[in-house]
């Protein structure tokens, strides 16, 4: 009988996580209301100081759900951060083309296209930033017509978006030349993803590849660029291939230390394992404006590298870092005990294990383990 209410709570929590809110947004630029889809992160109400990246999805009526699914899956495994997801409804074919209207001679938005551009830049984005806790990292995404349109934001001197997901874009006049020029000229870090497939529309595929050829020659540390061409996919199915690739490309620095990263980048270092860990999270904060505690598993990865390469003095620095992030737990004392034990200073090691015993357990470190290690050090002293 107790299982039923538990199941109800679980299903309600799952529903709450998955639900999206549809809000009519009144726009002077568009001359009426436009439906906006909104999904806030599960932890949004837990910490009033935490800010989240924004992902604005054009063609929200069919792109919102696949983006939300990819984000939920990646966040479940802690590969992707929580994101404020917003979609703009363009559910009438004539509406999305009107929203993306541009002049054939200048290649710039005109009339209804200008109105939609201004709606995003001067109405919707200021409202979202005033209403919700949005981090400085902002992404925009679209498909074919709207994917071409989102590139107009790159034409601004200081683009309001930091990252662009362009899925099989229908490019406006000369965009295959203008976009690389802008990507090369913009000073701030820019993330840019575009995709096509062998089953894509031939009339747009050639220009997409021309854009790729020019963009991949740009040598800038501030440009994070990725291009995908999917085999066996259509103009529509490429969307489901592209979304996780784009998100994992943009948020690669967010991911925990992987086996490959450990084997290829960390263990191969002669020293500086703790510094590597610090820099990983500093880079996350600098590039994506995401500030978060260092994951326990990442601490344990650095611990393993220190032990493997017998650089035991680095445990001292790791203990200081552990105290900063997990001060109430036994992690810091455990690392000091590890340093003394491996340097065969069993008396000090025993004291640190006893000190750890008096603090909060964390992960697989518990009081039984600390007591047993303390007793082991006693025996080694005799």
pLDDT, tens digit (0-9, with 9 covering 90-100), for 363-374: 999 999 999 999
* pLDDT confidence band for 19 (50 / 70 / 90): confident
Top CATH class, 259-381: mainly alpha
Predicted confidence band of residue 106 (pLDDT cuts 50, 70, 90): very high
Whether the Cβ atoms of residue 141 and residue 63 lie closer than 8 Å to each other: yes
Which of 223, 118, 233, 145 is CA-nearest to residue 180?
223
Question: β-strand 84-88 against 52-57: which pairing, if any?
Answer: parallel
β-pairing, 163-167 with 223-234?
A: unpaired
Q: Which pLDDT does position 382 carry in this prediction?
A: 77
The token pair that represents 265 in the structure block: 């980048």
Break the chain into its structural domains and give their ranges.
17-254, 259-381
Tokens (6 digits) for 188: 């701030």
Q: Read off the DSSP letter of residue 369.
A: H
Strands 32-39 and 52-57: unpaired
Quick: pLDDT tens for 253-275: 999 999 999 999 999 999 999 99
Q: Which pLDDT score, from 0 to 100, does residue 288 have?
A: 85
Token pair 């917003």 is found at: 86
Range 17-254 has CATH code 3.40.50.1820: yes
In terms of Cα–Cα distance, which of 134, 144, 216, 142 is closest to 179? 216
Q: List for the chain the helix, strand, coil content (%; round to 5).
A: 50, 20, 30
Short-list 298, 308, 289, 317, CA closest to 188: 289
Listed in sequence order, the DSSP H helices in 153-197 are 175-185
């Amino acid at each position: 009988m107790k299982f039923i209410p538990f199941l109800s709570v679980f299903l309600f929590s799952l529903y709450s996580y998955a639900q999206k809110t549809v809000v009519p947004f009144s726009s002077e630029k568009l001359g009426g209301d436009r439906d906006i889809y909104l999904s806030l992160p599960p932890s949004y109400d837990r910490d009033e100081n935490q800010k989240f990246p924004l992902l604005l999805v054009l063609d929200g009526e069919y792109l919102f759900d696949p983006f939300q699914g990819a984000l939920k899956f990646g966040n479940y495994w802690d590969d992707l951060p929580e994101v404020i997801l917003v979609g703009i409804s363009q559910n009438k074919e004539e509406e999305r083309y009107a929203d993306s209207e541009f002049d054939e001679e200048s290649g710039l938005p005109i009339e209804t296209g200008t109105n939609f551009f201004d709606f995003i830049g001067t109405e919707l984005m200021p409202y979202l930033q005033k209403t919700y806790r949005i981090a400085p990292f902002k992404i925009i995404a679209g498909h074919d017509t709207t994917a071409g349109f989102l590139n107009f934001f790159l034409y601004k001197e200081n683009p309001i978006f930091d990252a662009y997901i362009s899925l099989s874009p229908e490019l406006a006049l000369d965009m295959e030349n203008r976009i690389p020029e802008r990507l090369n000229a913009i000073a701030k870090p820019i993330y840019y993803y575009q995709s096509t497939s062998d089953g894509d529309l031939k009339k747009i595929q050639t220009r997409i590849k021309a854009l790729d050829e020019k963009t991949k020659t740009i040598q800038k540390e501030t440009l994070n660029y990725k291009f995908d061409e999917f085999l066996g996919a259509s103009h529509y199915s490429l969307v489901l291939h592209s979304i996780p690739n784009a998100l994992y490309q943009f948020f690669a620095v967010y991911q925990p230390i992987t086996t490959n990263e450990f084997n290829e980048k960390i263990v191969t270092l002669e020293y500086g394992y703790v510094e590597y860990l610090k820099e990983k999270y500093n880079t996350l904060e600098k590039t994506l404006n995401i500030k978060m505690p260092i994951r326990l598993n990442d601490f344990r990865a650095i611990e393993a590298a220190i032990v493997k390469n017998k650089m035991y003095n680095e445990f001292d620095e790791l203990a200081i870092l552990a105290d900063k992030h997990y001060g109430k737990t036994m992690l810091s004392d455990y690392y000091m005990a590890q340093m003394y034990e491996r340097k065969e200073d069993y008396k000090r090691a025993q004291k640190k294990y006893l000190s750890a015993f008096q603090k909060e357990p964390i992960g697989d470190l518990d009081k039984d383990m600390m007591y047993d290690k303390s007793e082991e050090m006693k025996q080694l002293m005799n």
